[in-house]
Amino acid sequence: MSRLTGKIAIVTGAGSGLGKAISEAFAEEGARLVLTDIDLESVKKVAEAIGPNAIALQQDVADEKLWDQIMEATTDAFGSPHILVNNAGLVIPGTIEDCSLELFRKQNSVMLEGVFLGCRAAVKAMKSNDQPSSIINLSSMAALQGYSPFVAYSAAKGGVRSMTKSVALHCKEKNYPIRCNSLHPAGIDTPMVRQESVGAGGAATPATGMISLGDLGHPNDVAALCVYLASDESRFMTAGEYPVDNGALYKPA
């Protein structure tokens, strides 16, 4: 497959779950990859399995200075990036009554400030590209519905939803060759969703076939849409928000 041949992509939170699946899908389509994660050992394993077209770097996405280093390392290894997937995240339970300000800020520093820093660095790096470029921000169904047990997570993902549109429109107004879209997955079968604090259980989700309403999706369900939005096939799509939810948004009460 060659839908991303010639493209250079950065994927954050690539050591497991959605980031790993997205990275593998991009590699299969011919992209060269810079994979980052706060857990260096996990992301090294993903890059090694992909091969010479991938490198692994340690990154805390909330660290402003590290974004410059990631962009420099990408240019040194492969050239100017064409794709950024802002995927890194965490989830810590807490309602509006019991979420501390410290935990609220911690989650927003990664999932909202980290996405802001990534978008800003990517626009600077991509605005002079001679081919279409794409920023893909992982938001959540929590941004469209709200999720009372996870108030900080919902707030961060809601901010990503709105910020995505601002970035997209800015790039259009400046005539930059950059699209920016957000994805809004429901529950996906990843280690983060399987953790005890989230409470997802049941059998592992199969990679093929129909999925019943309310069951977890497979990481490849998100990765496939990321490939499309990263490719030039989606050249007329920007400022969009795309649920990956098996109809959960419109599920009757």
Q: Which residue has the tokens 């795309």?
A: 242
Query: For 128-167, b where at least 16 C-beta lie within 10 A, e where not — what string?
Result: ebeebbbbbbbbbbbbbeebebbbbbbbbbbbbbebbbeb
Per-residue pLDDT of the chain (253 residues; tens, 9 = 90+): 699 999 999 999 999 999 999 999 999 999 999 999 999 999 999 999 999 999 999 999 999 999 999 999 999 999 999 999 999 999 999 999 999 999 999 999 999 999 999 999 999 999 999 999 999 999 999 999 988 999 999 999 999 999 999 999 999 999 999 999 999 999 888 777 655 445 566 666 666 666 666 778 899 999 999 999 999 999 999 999 999 998 888 875 5
From CA 175, how far away is CA 107, in angstroms rounded?
A: 33
pLDDT of residue 215: 76
pLDDT of residue 146: 86
pLDDT of residue 29: 98
Given the residues 147, 153, 228, 242, select the one marked as catalytic: 153
pLDDT of residue 250: 85
From CA 222, how far away is CA 150, in angstroms rounded?
A: 22
- The two three-digit tokens of residue 196, written as one number: 């005890």
Distance between terminal CA atoms of the chain?
A: 42
Picking from 110, 127, 134, 109, the residue whose alpha carbon sits closest to that of residue 3 is 134
From CA 253, how far away is CA 237, in angstroms rounded?
A: 31
pLDDT of residue 196: 43
Fold of domain 8-187+219-247: Rossmann fold (3.40.50)
pLDDT of residue 223: 98
Angle of CA points 18, 208, 184, to nearest 5°: 35
- Respond yes or no: is residue 153 known to be catalytic: yes
Q: Is 28 exposed, middle or buried (0-12, 13-18, 19+ CB in 10 A)?
A: middle
